[in-house]
Structure 1
Amino acid sequence: MQTPENASEKKSPAKPQRILMVNEQRSFQVMMKAMLINLGISNITYSNTAEDARRRCQKGSFDIYLIDYDLGVGENGRQLLESLRDQSLIPPQSVVIMVSSDSSRAMVLSALEAEPDEYLMKPFSQEQFSFRLRRALARRHALAPVFTALADNNFQALITACAERADAVPRFANYCRCLQADTHLKLGEAQEARALMRQLLAGQENSWARLTLGKACNTLGLHEEAVSHLQATLKNTPLMVEAHLWLAESLLALGNDEQAQQELRRAVDISPQSVQLSRRLAEVCLQRHDYAQAKDVLMSLIDLSRNSIHRTPHYLGAYIQTLTLYALNSNDSYHIANLQKQVNSALSRIRDSLMMSEFNYPVFEQICQARVQIALGELLKGKKMLYRANQNWLDEPATMPPVLLGETILALYQLGEFEYAESLQGLLAEDEDRLLTTCIQATRDDKTVLERRQRYQQLNDLGIKAYQAGELEQALGHFREALRRAPANTGAALNKIQVLLQLMQKNRKSPEFGAECKDTLDVLDGIPLNPAQQERFRKLRQEFNQFS
């Protein structure tokens, strides 16, 4: 006897009524219209651009989304699909079919990583299209509770739906079990995910299940076991880029950083359109101080993300910092001299996309240009540009937008304002963008910056101790040397002024102390310092004026 559940499985999904076709070629639209009418679908909406498609989706939903990968200038089909999903503009019961005339591996993998229901290479026949459409609709119909829970980000409901559908629809059992395990991982239930995948793999080999088992083992700290499973996955499915990514994470956990970077490089070579892979490779390159590769990857990221939901000023900020660190460590004046040209080129590439977002691009650009001046050795010019860019937040730095705060911290380390950078770094949230925090950490740990910072700190501390002991001339010598290591450091400059004022009181007939004090005060004059520094500067200037 047929159960109600089995009977429902044999029902055909409702015939779709509405289709959105996103394609800029009129000839393709005409061909597809004929195909769709032959299939009984006549309610067709056409969009030539991603922007027009998004506007139409904001006004209403469709049963089928037929999206061409290549949409000309601007967003491509993958970026459009990511944007529509990000804004929850595609209903869970709807089908997405992506088409492309580019059969290159990079293009195919990029399209598949967007996870459309079907992917078709042009040219295709009506029979091919009809078969793929029916298959996609049947899958959406059979797994409707799964896709609804997935769209709602309801993880507990998703686990329940996956378990129920895996039993009810055997042909989708592996998909449901792997998705169920992935959901357990998102909930921090790695043991449950591991047990589920081991059970599935006991019956048959499955690359997705093996990958998910590797992810679960890595999460549980079983890194060597994770490496074993992920390497087995790649042996059977060498183009599974997510397996390369997780193998790299496991290798990093085992301390094999160089091998992990190589694994990520392989993944990016396989799928060069993946923002996630390139971003992770950039982070690992920065951690390993491989600035040569990091700058190239970050430049690619700027281009990849320019028209996507992944666009962020962090890529540009990290790129500029990487160029600077690369130049500082290369001991080649050409790289420093070429920095302005490279930064201006990068700014022009991303300016339009960031100007359209809710982001203070003009201030960001000022900070970037300040960092260039600092790198070129124009420390005072760069310092003035930096502080003026941040003048609205100097009194309350905690109110500074996180992106601008991060870029300012990078500039301060570059400038030699180590104490100020440290104080601001404490304002960054723990969950702040990982690329930004990685870039800051790489800058702090950079050999050139670290040596300069340690020597500066040592000299400044010696100066403070000597001053406290009343050894004023010795203190002055230390502060002079500290400023030679970090010429733009405000704290050391104020310390030096304070010592000079003491020496002026003791040696009223020695004009050299007064001249040096005036010169140092003049250097700080006109720079919008933070409140504490400004108050100290005001008092020291007032004390100096009393000698005039």
Structure 2
Amino acid sequence: MLISDKEPEKKFPAKPKRVLMVNEQRSFQVMMKAILINLGISNITSANNAEEARRRCQKGTFDIYLIDYDLGVGENGRQLLESLKNQNLIPPQSVVIMVSGDSSRAMVLSALEAEPDEYLMKPFSQEQFAFRLKRALARRQALTPIFTALADSNWPALITVSAALAQTHPRFANYCRCIQAETYLKLEQAQDARDLMRQLLAGQENSWARLILGKACNSLGLHEEAVGHLQTTLKNTPLMVEAHRWLAESMLALGNTERAQQELKRAVDISPQSVLLARRLAEVCLIRHDYAQAKEVLLSLIELSRNSIHCTPHYLGAYIQALTLYSLNSNDSHQIPHLQKQVNAALSRLRDSLMMSEFNYPAFEQICQARVQIALGEPLKGKRMLYRANQHWLDDQANPSPALLGETALALYQLGEFEYADSLQSLLAANPDTLLTICIQTALDDRSAQEQRQRYEELNNLGTNAYQAGELEQALTHFREALRRVPANTVAALNKIQVLLLLMPNSQKSLQLRAECKATVEELDGIPLNPTQQERFHALRQEFDKLN
């Protein structure tokens, strides 16, 4: 977070400074080198794009990182900075200055969200640059213990040094106390954070402190009080998107999901480049079953995250979920036929990013296409695609990919393989992801899906009871109806095969039953089912072959 302070001393520290300048424009590089040399800084390394800058940072460190927001095709400056921080490639004592020629609010807020030490609008003078640089260097030097503890995620040390520096450096006292309070929240010591911020605010109003106080109250379950503090924050600082976000969280806790969605929408409108805000808005839209807005937000999220550390297949999976539920619930017959085209477009957006990682993109893409086929009314075709995409881990579920596991569970629920999907819940719990969890819950809560599952379970139970009572004809009727409701359900299909095998030898309709049994066996044949189902199918298949 940037801090406005009085101008520090004019003199640079004696130690020569190493600068990494990341900019694709040759003219800007020449101008900045001249400015830096005039300021006594001659050790300058240039990089034309994010990838080159990352390679430079992997080979050595710098004292000053001068990053342009617009780096052309690929990662932008904000995404590069996030990546470098994520890989711990920027030393705690180093200064980051981001520059941009775009003065739009969205661009500025996007840049500030990455928390550079300074942000400069082009064009700027040598005097402006010198002032900002000296201020940032002085601040970094004074607060190095804080930045070191932050880099090491050493929360107890961060509390200690923040409290100490608040006393020894009055200019940065409010910043230090806010950092201390934020750290209390990380350690789930919300009452300590609340007490500290109330003490700070007793002396003067401070929007950051008021925001933290609202967050602390929310953590303590004091949601009404949190709402009051967060509304005050927004009255004083209307563009503070974090206040909108936490006001939304308070509204969610109070059960006002509509207001929560409105606040998050305002936050995204203010800062449309924020991946984290867009993600939370998508989650709340799904919770509220607002699939129309959810799919729009998720589509933008796919684009926003494509070249960043936030890139994940979960966004694409959630987008397919929102598209599917929107299509099925919109009463618009034109929506389903467009599903394939929309999914293909989204897959192409993420393909390059995901293919470059260790993620099994081909399997993921096949699962996504399976979900499309199911939505298009081809459940058996979708089932084959789904099970074949997953056969590499069906027999060994020790370390499944969370993304593949989540997409498989969603597809299974969509397919009507309720028993199998439920069995994966323990594996999903071991790899929690909020968005994935919400997507699965929407699949469970969807009214049409609930009605389908309830009727299927009733019919399957009726068939099981009739089978156990020896009423085979009645059992067959129930299993047939269950499969009519969910044509791709393996449990119902296996139950039907078992009943048919018992009826075939003594029935006057033996030929018809044999043909029905053969067709059902062929539907399952070649599909790599889960181990329990595969064992049962193998035994039934052998029995069927003996009768032929």
Common fold by TM > 0.5: yes
Q: For 1:467-486, what aligned pairs fall within 5 Å after superposition?
A: 467-486=467-486
Greater Cα shift, 156-165 or 429-438: 429-438
Deviation per CA, 1:136-184, whole angstroms, max 9, x where unpaired? 0110111111111111111111111111111111111110000100000
Q: For 1:36-51, what aligned pairs fall within 5 Å after superposition?
A: 36-51=36-51
1:514 shift after superposition:
2.1
Distance 2:386 2:14 in 1: 61
Question: Given the alignment of the two structures, is residue 320 of structure 1 paired with residue 312 of structure 2, yes or no?
Answer: no
Q: 2:423 — aligned with what? A: 423
Q: 2:4 — aligned with what? A: none
1:430 shift after superposition:
4.4
Identical residues among aligned pairs (%): 79
Distance 2:221 2:291 in 1: 30
Q: 1:6 — aligned with what? A: none
AA matched with 1:479: F
Q: For 1:26-175, what aligned pairs fall within 5 Å after superposition?
A: 26-175=26-175
C-alpha RMSD over aligned residues: 1.4
Q: 1:238 — aligned with what? A: 238
Distance 1:332 1:482 in 2: 27
Q: 2:335 — aligned with what? A: 335
1:11 shift after superposition:
9.6
Deviation per CA, 1:292-319, whole angstroms, max 9, x where unpaired? 0011111111100110011001111111
Cα distance 1:196–1:14, how it changes in 2: closer, same or farther (>3 A)? farther
Q: Is the 8 A contact 2:379 2:415 kept in 1?
A: yes
Length-normalised TM-score, structure 2? 0.96
Query: Helix, strand or coil for the counterpart of 2:393?
Result: coil
AA matched with 2:188: G
Q: 2:390 — aligned with what? A: 390
Deviation per CA, 1:23-45, whole angstroms, max 9, x where unpaired? 01111111111111111111111
Distance 1:118 1:109 in 2: 13
Distance 1:484 1:434 in 2: 34
1:428 shift after superposition:
1.3
AA matched with 2:547: F
Distance 1:244 1:232 in 2: 11
Cα distance 1:36–1:12, how it changes in 2: closer, same or farther (>3 A)? closer
Query: Helix, strand or coil for the counterpart of 1:427?
Result: helix
Q: Is the 8 A contact 1:13 1:138 kept in 2?
A: no
Q: 1:209 — aligned with what? A: 209
AA matched with 1:95: V
Greater Cα shift, 428-437 or 453-462: 428-437
Question: Given the alignment of the two structures, is residue 404 of structure 1 paired with residue 410 of structure 2, yes or no?
Answer: no
Distance 1:291 1:99 in 2: 38
Distance 1:297 1:98 in 2: 27
Greater Cα shift, 514-523 or 72-81: 514-523
AA matched with 1:325: L
AA matched with 1:346: A
Distance 1:286 1:14 in 2: 56
1:532 shift after superposition:
1.3
Distance 1:430 1:300 in 2: 29
Q: 2:247 — aligned with what? A: 247
Deviation per CA, 1:309-332, whole angstroms, max 9, x where unpaired? 110011111111111111111122
Q: Is the 8 A contact 1:16 1:64 kept in 2?
A: no
Distance 2:469 2:280 in 1: 51
1:504 shift after superposition:
1.9
Query: Helix, strand or coil for the counterpart of 1:98?
Result: strand
Q: Is the 8 A contact 1:23 1:49 kept in 2?
A: yes
AA matched with 1:525: D
Q: Is the 8 A contact 2:294 2:322 kept in 1?
A: yes
Q: Is the 8 A contact 1:397 1:424 kept in 2?
A: no
1:10 shift after superposition:
12
Q: Is the 8 A contact 1:472 1:499 kept in 2?
A: yes
1:506 shift after superposition:
3.9
AA matched with 1:128: Q
Distance 1:16 1:461 in 2: 79
Greater Cα shift, 527-536 or 490-499: 527-536
Q: Is the 8 A contact 2:12 2:134 kept in 1?
A: no
Distance 2:502 2:399 in 1: 38
Length-normalised TM-score, structure 1? 0.96
Q: 2:5 — aligned with what? A: none
Unmatched 5+ stretches in structure 2? 1-8
Q: 2:358 — aligned with what? A: 358
AA matched with 2:83: S
Distance 1:74 1:518 in 2: 54
1:499 shift after superposition:
1.3
Q: 1:452 — aligned with what? A: 452
1:525 shift after superposition:
1.5
AA matched with 2:490: T
AA matched with 1:351: R
Cα distance 1:398–1:506, how it changes in 2: closer, same or farther (>3 A)? farther
1:457 shift after superposition:
0.9
Query: Helix, strand or coil for the counterpart of 1:387?
Result: helix
Query: Helix, strand or coil for the counterpart of 1:396?
Result: coil
Query: Helix, strand or coil for the counterpart of 1:333?
Result: coil
Q: Is the 8 A contact 2:251 2:260 kept in 1?
A: yes
Distance 2:21 2:211 in 1: 35
Distance 1:53 1:457 in 2: 58
Greater Cα shift, 230-239 or 399-408: 399-408
Q: Is the 8 A contact 2:291 2:323 kept in 1?
A: yes
Q: 2:3 — aligned with what? A: none
Q: 2:288 — aligned with what? A: 288
Q: 1:537 — aligned with what? A: 537
